[in-house]
A and B are shown apart, each in its own frame.
Chain A
């Protein structure tokens, strides 16, 4: 039973470029949430996807967008990259029918460095 899989593990981009990060949820999970974690900080909620729609969003600009596919996998896109976007990006999957998120599971993350 595969856990949450994220790709790539590391990425280096230049300011102004665009990046796409990918996440495959845990088997049986239908909801994907994305987080940004700066060094030494706790994860910050970006948005959550369920049934291929963005359900909730945190305090992030429109440069951050996402998508969920019919197989529940998800992408996070960031346009016009800034140096401040350098962070560990985490994906967490869960089951919408489990609102208490008992099964909330994180991937290992993608380390994005913007230079």
Chain B
């Protein structure tokens, strides 16, 4: 069964600090891995997308890394801002069986305090 596990479940940091969120997956083979940001009560917004052959992808203060050998990805947030408070979801799209339905992690809830 395809699974995506994220850690930590929740994280509290001070404004201006950096943080790293983790994602472990069993989906294989996969087409792409995406990190989404979801504000409370809103739909997820894509931050980064990486294919299986990419190791890193940046979007402003967000940098995602991918290690396809260990099936791990991380999302690093630099110089956090209050607006970074949200849930961050790791999503993996499979590449087999005619099913391209993405598999979602449960998300990491990030709270940035002033």
Contact = CB atoms under 8 A, between A and B. Distances in A.
Given A41-B106, A101-B31, A101-B93, A106 B101 contact: no
A105 B106 CA distance: 18
A43 B46 contact: no
Nearest to A105: B46
A95 to B, nearest CB: 11
Given A42-B89, A43-B104, A109 B31 contact: no
A104 B100 CA distance: 11
Interface residues of B, number: 25
Given A41-B106, A42-B107, A102 B32 contact: yes
Contacts of B102: 45, 101, 104
Contact of A106 (B43, B95, B100, B105): B43
Contacts of A105: 46
Q: How large is the interface on A (under 10, 10 to 19, 20 to 34, 35 or more residues)?
A: 20 to 34
Interface string B35-50: 0100001111110010
Interface string A88-109: 1010000000011110111111
Contacts of A33: 101
A113 to B, nearest CB: 12
Contacts of B43: 4, 6, 90, 106-109
Interface of A: 4, 6, 33, 40-45, 48, 56, 58, 88, 90, 99-102, 104-109, 111
Interface of B: 4, 31-32, 34, 36, 41-46, 49, 51, 89, 93, 95, 99-102, 104-107, 109
